[in-house]
Structure 1
Amino acid sequence: MTVDTVGTVMGRPLLPLRQFVLKMHSRCDLACDHCYVYEHADQSWSRRPVVVSDEVLSATAERIAEHAGAHGLPAVHVVLHGGEPLLAGRTRLRRAATELTAALSGVCELDLRIHTNAVTLDERFLDLFDEFGIKVGVSLDGDRSANDLHRRYADGRSSHDRVLRGIALLNRPRHRHLFAGILCTVDLRNDPVAVHDALAALAPPRVDFLLPHATWDEPPARPAEDSDGTAYARWLLAVHDRWTATGRAMDVRIFDSVLRTLRGESSLTESLGLAPADLAVIETDGTFEQADSLKTAHDGAPATGLDVFRNSLDEVAGHPGIVARQQGLDGLAEQCRACPVVRSCGGGLYAHRYRSDGSGFRNPSVYCSDLLALITDLRDRHMTDQSARPALADHHLAELATGRGSGAIVDLLARHQLALARELLGLVRHETTLAPAAEDGQEAWDTLTALDAEAPEAVDRVLAHPYGRSWALSALGARPAPTPTAGVTGAAATAARGTAEIAAAAALRAGRRASVVVPVHAGLLRLPTYGTLTVEADTERVLVRTDVDGCTVRAGGRTYAIPRSGRADPAWRGSRRFELDGWSVTLEDTDPWRDCHGHPAHPRVSEDEAEAWRSDLTAAWAWIRRELPEYAPGIAAGLRTITPLTPSPEGADISSAARDAFGAVAVARPSAPETLALLLVHEFQHVKLGAVLDLVDLYDPACTTLFYAPWRPDPRPLEGLLQGTYAHLAVVDFWRARWRGGGGPDAETRFSRWRDQTAEAVGTLADSGALTETGKRFVAGLREALATDEVGAEALRAARRAAEEHRRTVRP
């Protein structure tokens, strides 16, 4: 297979690599008997240098920078690995970090991590990691008995106490920001509840439960009574039940990934989903390899025959082994392609599909039955029982009152919003007549009902579209359409059209064969979460036919094709989906119901503008993850849609969050990614608080008093002041990060001003006399969350002058 100079492989667009595992040391100080490096089929470690050389480090950094620059990558991710990377020593690790940082400076962001067993982790290592921003992941299998089943020294001694000591260092306030999480390999002999509790007690931000590496030639250990092959699913589900019952104290990657893929989003792990492979390994001798997990298949399985001295990363990306893992559905066995959960499972980890009978990796996973049981069970638990709205516990409100909120808590808010969307859909069905399209409406409802029974995750994904609530409220007559372009001619027509649009979009998302008649107005067909199709202006109805390959639309005498992949009809305007690092977000510039933000929605943006959005969002997201990491999990869990706004003629920054559009913010693209980061965290505060107010009464709605708001030109009602105060918690944290990150006197002054004026607003809320008891506790949490950093006298004076000037200009 050949790679040319314009980024194609045999005429196919080259998919660049974004993740790199750099082997620092090829040996380990533990002798774990389940290790894929030493204990499986590939034994190439024994023929490699013990420690990576300066020459390999330098060449690796140059290759990654060359590749990132050629493909315009906004960020790359490098994991320092082994063996045990700490055995390479601080000098060698510093050299790696220095080479990578220098080579990528001005090229792209560097997300640098290290994965370690932590038995030799100490303060000096952590000081080095802090200097370069290296996040630390630790391997630990649970409590002492669970961990010592496998993770022992060669002489049989336990490693447990030393690992706990290393994690305790990571959990100190000075280094807590470096703690990336824990990796735990499942062993069915261990009590899943005890494993969960032992890991949760260490307060990791995330736990990654891994199935032990196995193939069809060397299948995983199973108890004799595991007749249906689902013992690993049952073990993980027991962990899930405990995790849920104890308030989801940490993120769990496998559960988050299953739910994300069921919603049509990207997976957080290579073992699930259909996202193409984008990882390469650099061994201590400079050879390029594929994913380490392939070492479990056969000797030489990960080899590429390429190295950092003679070959580019474009050549690695074009290697047949890498390309084979980028084929999506086309690369799976026929049994997998026909599976109802294939878009979530993705065939499982590539290495787990191997069989030496000639079929190679073209098989289902050796954990196929476990994955099917796990995914369908989680789907049924999270995405089909929407009869009751999830409640917010006191500890959830306490965490949200800090302005932050974990991914689990924001997911709880999202599930409530989904339950509300289902209730509104039911009201539309039962409280509106579907005339003059009663027959079409009934058929669409029947299709939707059948889909909800067969593929509820597809229905949920469509119902969770942020602008579905605007449609439902208009269909119920509770509010007018946002603009005439929504094509509304009355509540009944709105109900009929919207129900059919949801049914067609859900059928398309599920890949099911269905035919749906959809009424259209002014020649616009809307498929929520997908895009819009422009047909002849006098068309009243279209026929949408869906199947696994996409859909066709029959309008009058013309048929429009909208395939899942490949070129669609030019009349189709699809939403652009950006898969960033741990965040899937859609640029929504097609849905007519998006025009509900109080500012004009931007018309369809060009391809060049969309790429500019992608670049800026990638940079803004990297800034948030680096400088405001407490806000990142909530955004990743709940912010699904960015709606472009028409820029201000004066060039002012414009952004908005609509009360009835959970999961979306609207922004006029600013001039700098850091400003975009500020607008995102600010507006998502409004999104979160709006969802909280749907669940909990924080104030007396009968209060009609208007209050001074330090950021507004006019007094605000109590909810408006509460919303602004909550949003400014993020503004304060933003300017604190800018100041501490070298933003200079201006950032210091802005931090001082917004911190003090937000504190003033908190006091106004507390003294309003209109807060409920829950509201009082929530506002007290806001007060406690405000930063207390001391600022210089000049910044304090400048902040006070700005505050006084604002108060003089506020209209009565």
Structure 2
Amino acid sequence: MIREFVLPPAALDELAHGGAWPGAPAAMERGKNTLLLHAVATRSRELGHPGAQAAADGYRLLTHVHRAAPAAAAQTLGYPLLGTWASATVAALERGADDAAPHRLAAVAAAAVLLARLPLTVRFHTDAGAAELPGLGRLVLPGIAAGEPVALVADGSGAARLDVAGERFPLPRVLRADAEAGGAHGERARWEGVRDAGFLLDDVDPWRFPGPIPPLERLAGPEAAAWGTRLRRAMRLLNARHPGVARALREVTKVVVPISPPEAGTRSATARTAYGSVAMSRPHDTRSAALTLAHEVQHAKLTMLMDLFDLVRPGVRDHYYAPWRDDPRPAAALLQGAYAHMGVAGFWRAERHVAADPEVAHSEFARWRDAAYEVCLTLLAGGALTPLGRRFVRGMLETLAAWRAERVPAEASARARRAAARHRLQWVARHRS
């Protein structure tokens, strides 16, 4: 299940100029997750973890599914949130932490068997009152403790059930929806699916977003429908006005994870462990949703690239001013920000010709193209970049220099310069020693 990746020079240049690398992101996510799952199985065995046998059984079964039904295996292995759990599990195993969960690999295999429609029985365990099938959803069983044995019984035709605590719960044939599960638990037992909202909307995976920002709990039906409407409208806008961004999203991004909003505005993030997913609070409108996706797909592309190659020299400790942040940033984060804001500038570059508020759009275009351009110059002037990183940033600079040659109305340009100057003055005042 493990393969080697080669980056053609033309693909690097295409990415540097803001494009995508057709066909690569999905294969790279699968490859990264496969390596991580192999590490989970191997290290749990070497360290004698109690979940090692379940992990080994799961990995062997995934190998079987890969041979018997490669498309189903690819869908399972390519699910971005696997990377978050597997990375956390490998790290926890190395630390000897109590929260290592290698046994979940058996549930991953169960999800692959269900997708493959293979006539098999797969055994795994519940996780805090639910039987999980990563990438598909969970059977919620109030009163059932974590660690209860579960058996997925699939007949090969698409019909399947979960046997838990002496009861049988038929799974719905359409998994991407909520459904009552029956059994002695009555209406409290229910299936909660990963929902189709243009992207997959995952508000059930326990590892759906790492870090301090809490993901939202299960969205009620109307709220999930509102998310779906906004995301679909955003993709329609991108397809109509920003076809390059839309192509990149189709190549890279599979999952949206709803997260809690800040006190004011919205926020979004792309986790390095799951670059095929975007975590975002609910956007205010269609355009802000489209802008968020345009911003985050840039992070995803660069994270994918930086997983494979060093663009910044290891061990560099210098920190820099970033025109979009209040804190000094290390070189790798500065490069990430520049690439993401090149995407933001590209979004406003197209929007300024169709927006109802063209002065705002012109101003946003001018501010962020100039900011990204200046950061690229800073990076090239320093010694933080590797030769490959310098080639990448020079490619970014070519695109940004061409955009800087485009005319922006005088008032919009002045507005952008005032905003940039205000940010720098505030930053200097904040960090004056």
TM-score (norm 1): 0.49
**Does residue 727 in structure 1 map to residue 340 in structure 2?**
yes
Query: Distance between the aligned counterparts of 1:639 and 1:550, measured in 2?
Result: 29
Change (3 A) 1:607 1:517: same
Q: Once the two structures are superposed, what CA deviation does each residue of 1:67-119 show, in whole Å capped at 9, x if it has no partner?
A: xxxxxxxxxxxxxxxxxxxxxxxxxxxxxxxxxxxxxxxxxxxxxxxxxxxxx
Unmatched 5+ stretches in structure 1:
1-385, 482-487
Partner of 2:41: 429
Q: Once the two structures are superposed, what CA deviation does each residue of 1:22-56 show, in whole Å capped at 9, x if it has no partner?
A: xxxxxxxxxxxxxxxxxxxxxxxxxxxxxxxxxxx
Unmatched 5+ stretches in structure 2:
182-188
Aligned residue type for 1:527: L
Aligned residue type for 2:41: R
**Does residue 450 in structure 1 map to residue 64 in structure 2?**
yes
Moved more, 557-566 or 609-618: 557-566
SS in 1 for 2:319: coil
Partner of 1:389: 4
Change (3 A) 1:449 1:568: farther
User: Conserved in 2, the CA contact under 8 Å of 1:413 and 1:692?
Assistant: no
Partner of 1:718: 331
SS in 2 for 1:630: helix
User: Conserved in 1, the CA contact under 8 Å of 2:313 and 2:386?
Assistant: yes
Change (3 A) 1:574 1:398: same
User: Conserved in 1, the CA contact under 8 Å of 2:54 and 2:105?
Assistant: no
Change (3 A) 1:597 1:615: farther
Q: For residue 598 of structure 1, report the CA deviation from its aligned partner.
A: 4.3
Partner of 1:475: 89
Query: Distance between the aligned counterparts of 1:727 and 1:678, measured in 2?
Result: 11
**Does residue 558 in structure 1 map to residue 159 in structure 2?**
no
User: Conserved in 2, the CA contact under 8 Å of 1:682 and 1:727?
Assistant: yes
Paired residues for 1:45-444 under 5 Å: 386-405=1-20, 409-433=21-45, 435-437=49-51, 439-444=53-58
SS in 2 for 1:593: coil
SS in 1 for 2:295: helix
Query: Distance between the aligned counterparts of 2:303 and 2:348, measured in 1?
Result: 24
Query: Distance between the aligned counterparts of 1:442 and 1:714, measured in 2?
Result: 44
Change (3 A) 1:403 1:559: same
Partner of 1:792: 409
Q: Once the two structures are superposed, what CA deviation does each residue of 1:435-484 show, in whole Å capped at 9, x if it has no partner?
A: 53555444444433322221122122111111111211222225899xxx
Query: Distance between the aligned counterparts of 1:430 and 1:543, measured in 2?
Result: 24
Choose 1 or 2 for highest CA Rg: 1
Partner of 1:739: 352
TM-score (norm 2): 0.89
Query: Distance between the aligned counterparts of 1:490 and 1:746, measured in 2?
Result: 48
Partner of 1:620: 234
Query: Distance between the aligned counterparts of 1:561 and 1:470, measured in 2?
Result: 29
Change (3 A) 1:729 1:479: farther
User: Conserved in 1, the CA contact under 8 Å of 2:41 and 2:56?
Assistant: no
Considering Cα pairs closer than 8 Å and 6+ residues apart, tell me whether 1 or 2 has the greater RCO.
2
Query: Distance between the aligned counterparts of 2:52 and 2:375, measured in 1?
Result: 52
Q: For residue 784 of structure 1, report the CA deviation from its aligned partner.
A: 1.1
Aligned residue type for 2:25: L
**Does residue 609 in structure 1 map to residue 223 in structure 2?**
yes
Partner of 1:507: 113
Query: Distance between the aligned counterparts of 2:238 and 2:341, measured in 1?
Result: 16
Partner of 2:102: 495
SS in 2 for 1:542: strand
Q: For residue 701 of structure 1, report the CA deviation from its aligned partner.
A: 1.7
**Does residue 532 in structure 1 map to residue 138 in structure 2?**
yes
SS in 1 for 2:243: coil
C-alpha RMSD over aligned residues: 2.1
Query: Distance between the aligned counterparts of 1:501 and 1:633, measured in 2?
Result: 32
SS in 2 for 1:533: strand
Q: For residue 792 of structure 1, report the CA deviation from its aligned partner.
A: 2.0
Partner of 2:129: 523
Partner of 2:313: 700
Change (3 A) 1:438 1:773: closer
Q: Once the two structures are superposed, what CA deviation does each residue of 1:549-605 show, in whole Å capped at 9, x if it has no partner?
A: 232111113222212238452521101123x5xxxx201111010121542111111
Pick the aligned partner of 2:278 from 642, 651, 665. 665
Partner of 1:689: 302
Q: Equivalent pairs: percent with the same residue?
A: 34
Q: For residue 744 of structure 1, report the CA deviation from its aligned partner.
A: 2.2
Q: For residue 400 of structure 1, report the CA deviation from its aligned partner.
A: 0.4
Q: For residue 505 of structure 1, report the CA deviation from its aligned partner.
A: 0.3
User: Conserved in 1, the CA contact under 8 Å of 2:43 and 2:93?
Assistant: no
Query: Distance between the aligned counterparts of 1:478 and 1:720, measured in 2?
Result: 25
SS in 2 for 1:799: helix
Aligned residue type for 1:790: R
Change (3 A) 1:471 1:604: same
Aligned residue type for 1:529: G
Query: Distance between the aligned counterparts of 2:345 and 2:53, measured in 1?
Result: 55
Q: For residue 649 of structure 1, report the CA deviation from its aligned partner.
A: 3.0
Query: Distance between the aligned counterparts of 1:630 and 1:442, measured in 2?
Result: 42
Query: Distance between the aligned counterparts of 1:804 and 1:550, measured in 2?
Result: 62
**Does residue 571 in structure 1 map to residue 177 in structure 2?**
no
Query: Distance between the aligned counterparts of 2:51 and 2:315, measured in 1?
Result: 41
Query: Distance between the aligned counterparts of 1:655 and 1:460, measured in 2?
Result: 27
Q: For residue 797 of structure 1, report the CA deviation from its aligned partner.
A: 1.7
Query: Distance between the aligned counterparts of 1:446 and 1:709, measured in 2?
Result: 47
User: Conserved in 2, the CA contact under 8 Å of 1:410 and 1:638?
Assistant: no
Change (3 A) 1:736 1:554: same
Partner of 1:596: 210
**Does residue 546 in structure 1 map to residue 154 in structure 2?**
yes
